[in-house]
Structure 1
Amino acid sequence: MDPERLIYPLLKHVLLGPAMRVVFLPRVSGLRHVPRTGPVILAANHLAFLDSFVLPLMVPRRVRFLGKHEYFTGPGTPGRAMAAFFRGVGAIAVDRSGGRAALDALDALDTSARVLEGGGVFAIHPEGTRSPDGRLYRGRTGVARLAMRTGAPVLPVAIEGTDRVQPRGRAVPRPGRIGVRIGPPLDFAGRDAGTPRGRAAREVTDEIMRAIRELSGQEYVDDYAPRP
């Protein structure tokens, strides 16, 4: 058996999942919108590093997401342990180094599409990076291109409180309540038919961000979030 499939239930149901419920007392709503089978994209706002683990541990299906290549290539026993941890929670390594922005974006899109084409759940933060001030920033179009390419429905997700329990610069989160709100599915299959793909991707992304904003109540900034 794939070792990754052994680590995943251990982390989710025995170790991290129960610990997260005790430490963060999460309020989760909208799980009824998550289909039991078939591909689906979870498009969430991004407030803290902790967000990457909230969805995989709170959603009843296995959730995959992209992770930095460095998380999987550390030296020695600590490096192997970190790699096993990130694989266990659903991260997929993507090498974003080398300055090949266009090729890296295509590689990430292909990797994400394979998860969905296999009937899986893929989580993405359309903002592309953590919000520096708690506001919701303009979404990047990768989520729209993924939805139109695969036909997978998009579930908008609002994560709340993670910026309070893990503010920028804090490695270990402190106890505090967090929340997850999942909205009804959005279907964008065929939206690029008869429309220039770039324009369709922008329109779809903006629609997804509006749905996230309605769930989160965040102030919206029509500009990309600055990368740290």
Structure 2
Amino acid sequence: MIRITELRLPLDHPEEALREAVLARLNIPAEDLKSLHVARRGYDARKRGHIVLVYNVDCDVADEAAVLAAHEGDQHVRPTPDTTYHPPEATLPEGMPRPVVIGAGPCGIMAALTLAQAGLKPIIIERGKDVKARTVDTFALWRKSVLTPESNVQFGEGGAGTFSDGKLYSGVSDPRHLGRHVLEEFVRAGAPEEILTISKPHIGTFRLVTMVMFIR
């Protein structure tokens, strides 16, 4: 597969324009493009009145080696990176205690999920309530100014991020594509599949609550 980055199209472009832009960018005939898949879709709104969509596209072409050779030196035409998640192989010596995860916020949940998928049966320690109960407590604070000290926006299953609309993007370098794995787990838990491609995805608080329950 070949990945084209920074492919720019008008905001209101027709669907077929993306395929045409790929053919033009690679300078290949239509029959040589077997398939294409949008890996990422963002936008550039820096110029008022001229907002454009910016795509990263993965393409399956008839002669990949020849196309890559023809675009040698072009940083925007490269082999598609391997974003496959490779789970860690872990075992506990016989008699060793089960691993303990402190806190059921986003990091704690994903750490526990990874340990569980490795068969290590983690124990999670969390000072607050489960996500469904703490949702009731949190809205009681917001709507009625009733504070439950151990169950609110800060404490409880899901962490503070559960009530932050579920923004899922950051500027952290991610050469191992572990962020992609997290998004895939979120999709399995009920998030919309579009979070795998849009540049600044978010999920929404109400969907997050059920997702946290599913991951648990």
**Superposition TM-score, scaled by structure 1 size:** 0.24
Structure having the higher helix fraction is 1
Larger relative contact order, structure 1 or 2 (CA cutoff 8 Å, min sep 6): 1
Structure number with greater Rg is: 2
**Superposition TM-score, scaled by structure 2 size:** 0.25
